[in-house]
Amino acid sequence: MKLYIYSLLFLLLFGSAARAQQVILPMTLDHKLLTSLIVREAFPGKNNSAAIVGRQGECTYLGISEPKFSSAGKNVRLDMRLVIRLGTELAGECLVPVEWQGYLSLIQQPVFDSRTFTLSFRTIDSSLSTLSRQPAQIANFLWEFAKPRVSEHLSRVRLNLAPPVRDMRDFLAPLFHEQSRKATQAMLDSLHGGRIAVTKDGVEVELLAEVEEIYAPVDSELYSTISPAEHKRLIQLWETWDVFLVRLISLLASEPLTPEDRLLLADVLLDTRHAFAAALEANNLEKDFVRQQFIRVWRNLAPMFRRQLYAKPSENTLGYLAFFTAADALLVLDQMGPTFGIEISEQGLLRLAAMLTGRETPLPYNLEVDPILRKLLQLPSVEILSPDGGDDEILEIDLPGAKDDIDPFTRISNFIFTSAYAADTPQLADLLEWRVPEDGVVEYAARVRGVLAEATSVVLAKQQQPENLHGLFRTMIVAIAWQESCFRQFVERGKKLTFLLSYNQTSVGVMQINERVWRGVYDRNKLRWDIRYNALAGCEIADLYLRRHALQGKALAPGVKAELLPAIVYAMYNGGPGQYEKFLARQKSGKTFPSDKLFAEKLKWVEKRDWERIEECLGGG
């Protein structure tokens, strides 16, 4: 049925395969981008200025500066500061100088050469204003001196848009299915300019491509069974995509952003990672999973990226334009689905990264803590230390007596580092303290609750939760640990000790921190082998979701009741920010998840201090 719908969509869009049709790929140049491009072409001086005649301070000088584009109906308006100084130089003196300073406004018609992909501007009107932006009149001889020279200087401006068009074409070509590669390459080779229009935000240029024949699969491989090798490749592709997304977000995370923008960036990252973790858990990872995530992310972030990246001059402005054009083209082609057989590839992501940075940019999936991500999430900064163990990954250690000639803890000594909030290195022998005993599990759980209480105190001291919620937060953290791990950091397998790992191989330790979701935010080895670090990470995550979603400042968010706070936070703890609205909808409909009910049960046990129930999951005599 799904393939039938796509085939029908194909026929509606393109008609018969024999008849050439057009695909319209948009190129959007907003006013900040246009301003940045014209600065590069015509205002090379300090503070975005251009000396057209003479130099500043000389007897005769004509200069323009501070260009800024805006819309003027069907045309654009280019405002700039204008300085005119005319005098007669004699014996080193400037006699009878006349000077005027103000603003020159030009109404210009954009002209796009569809063959060479160059954009120029034809001036159709002009006006002058004072420095206070009032209408101005100046002496005719001054204007007769300035007008033709300014006009000549600006008439030479040709914004060459061919490089971003070429980059967009090179990015798209390898993404098409092999059986459509020839036809789609012909389509991309036919790219030429179409109509140009001025909107309230900038200039939009149509890039037209002729489509004569497109591969329309009857038995689409997009929905075929994925082999183990293909599954592994898709995971690697997603990891490259995740690194790319972090690079994308990092471009903005260090810039002045509104709280709403910061929240959006963080939510997009976390929801994207949670969605991948959920797909792995459900074993429903599809071949076009990364493409779908790319499209979804770009729809959410494109307006912010255009607004922020074009706000300041950059040597890579054309690279940004190439990236935006390529991403927008992908949105258009995505509507055609399997008709084109588009798949995002690692090579495609590397090309996009190069557009953003202006150079070849590798995208390695590493596990180092990223200060930019912690800052984005408003988490305390930490001292970044890298392990001495290279690429070694310690998955288990020998318990005492397993190998008498080897210290069982030596193998992980390089993987336990200075705690994020303490100066002392944890003693390796302390690991044994967190083995679940055969007897006395209630006492063991009490010691774990002590660790959770310490971590909670650290977070409450550093963050800005309302004091009346501190008790609720402490209760919530204990309930989360009970629900997630039954207070276990480690488990024993025979003569080996290893960290608690979830059944889907993603989350570790007492607070079950998802290693993929929180990559770059926490040190993976410490999450695995340091119960205090793991507890602290869980407290930070719960606090983040509480403050940034369930609360608005010191007050509850609309539609949220105080008694629902722990459950809302736990839903996001497990599923990401997107679970906030979904949980409220479940609560309203009464169709809650089993995990919601189990957590509510643990919360009641903690509130009643019913600690004996710990034996139900830990055992003990």
Pick the CATH number of 388-618 from 3.40.50, 1.10.530, 3.30.920, 2.170.130: 1.10.530
Q: Which two tokens stand for residue 409?
A: 């803890």
More confident residue, 395 or 444: 444
Task: Kindly report the number of other CB atoms within 10 A of residue 434's CB atom.
Answer: 21
Q: What is the rounded average pLDDT of the residues 578-598?
A: 90
> Which class for 428: exposed (0-12), middle (13-18), buried (19 or more C-beta within 10 A)?
middle
Helix (H, G, I), strand (E, B) or coil at 40: helix
> Which class for 41: exposed (0-12), middle (13-18), buried (19 or more C-beta within 10 A)?
middle
**pLDDT at residue 382, rounded to an integer:** 63
Q: How far apart are CA 199 and CA 309, in angstroms?
A: 19
Q: What are the two backbone dihedrals, phi and then psi, of residue 86, each rounded to the nearest 5 degrees? A: -125, 130
Q: What confidence category does residue 11 fall into, taking pLDDT thresholds of 50, 70 and 90?
A: very low
More confident residue, 42 or 91: 42
Ranges of each domain in the chain: 2-27+162-357, 31-160, 388-618
Q: How far is residue 448 CA from its own chain's centroid?
A: 36
Q: What is the rounded average pLDDT of the residues 582-589?
A: 89
Q: What is the rounded average pLDDT of the residues 499-526?
A: 94
CA distances from 215 to 171, 181, 330 (A): 19, 8, 17
Q: Token pair 């085939």 is at which residue?
A: 7
**Residue 527: closest CA among 454, 384, 423, 420:** 420
**pLDDT at residue 161, rounded to an integer:** 95
In this predicted structure, the answer to whether residue 448 has a pLDDT above a threshold of 80 is yes
Type of residue found at 433:
E
**pLDDT at residue 312, rounded to an integer:** 66
346-357 and 162-172 helices, crossing angle to 10°: 160
**pLDDT at residue 18, rounded to an integer:** 43
Residue spans of alpha helices (H) in 486-591:
524-529, 531-545, 565-575, 579-589
**pLDDT at residue 314, rounded to an integer:** 72
Q: What are the two backbone dihedrals, phi and then psi, of residue 120, each rounded to the nearest 5 degrees? A: -130, 180
Q: Identify any residues that bridge with 501 across adjacent strands, giving them in sequence order.
A: 508
In this predicted structure, the answer to whether residue 456 has a pLDDT above a threshold of 80 is yes
Flag the least confident range among 55-59, 525-529, 560-564, 583-587. Answer: 560-564
Residue spans of alpha helices (H) in 432-578:
441-462, 470-485, 524-529, 531-545, 565-575
Q: What is the rounded average pLDDT of the residues 217-246?
A: 81
317-334 and 162-172 helices, crossing angle to 10°: 40
Give pLDDT tens digits for 134-144: 999 888 889 99
Helix (H, G, I), strand (E, B) or coil at 390: coil
**pLDDT at residue 399, rounded to an integer:** 80
More confident residue, 519 or 308: 519
Sequence-separated (6 or more) residues with CB below 8 Å from residue 227: none
Mean pLDDT over each residue of the chain, to the nearest integer: 85
The helix (H) or strand (E) run that includes residue 203 is strand 202-211
**Residue 488: closest CA among 537, 456, 444:** 444
Q: What is the rounded average pLDDT of the residues 550-575?
A: 85
Q: What is the rounded average pLDDT of the residues 109-116?
A: 94
Flag the least confident range among 421-425, 454-458, 483-487, 490-494. Answer: 421-425
Q: Which two tokens stand for residue 465?
A: 């939760």
Q: What is the rounded average pLDDT of the residues 510-535?
A: 96
More confident residue, 473 or 185: 473
Q: What is the rounded average pLDDT of the residues 411-424?
A: 44
Query: What is the 3-state composition of the chain as percent helix, strand, coil, each rounded to the nearest 5?
Result: 50, 20, 30
> Which class for 191: exposed (0-12), middle (13-18), buried (19 or more C-beta within 10 A)?
buried
Look up the pTM and report it.
0.84
Three-state helix/strand/coil letters over 411-425 = HHHHHCCCCCCCCCC
Q: How far apart are CA 127 and CA 133, in angstroms?
A: 11
Q: How far apart are CA 252 and CA 306, in angstroms?
A: 11
Give pLDDT tens digits for 335-372: 765 555 678 889 999 999 999 888 999 999 999 999 99
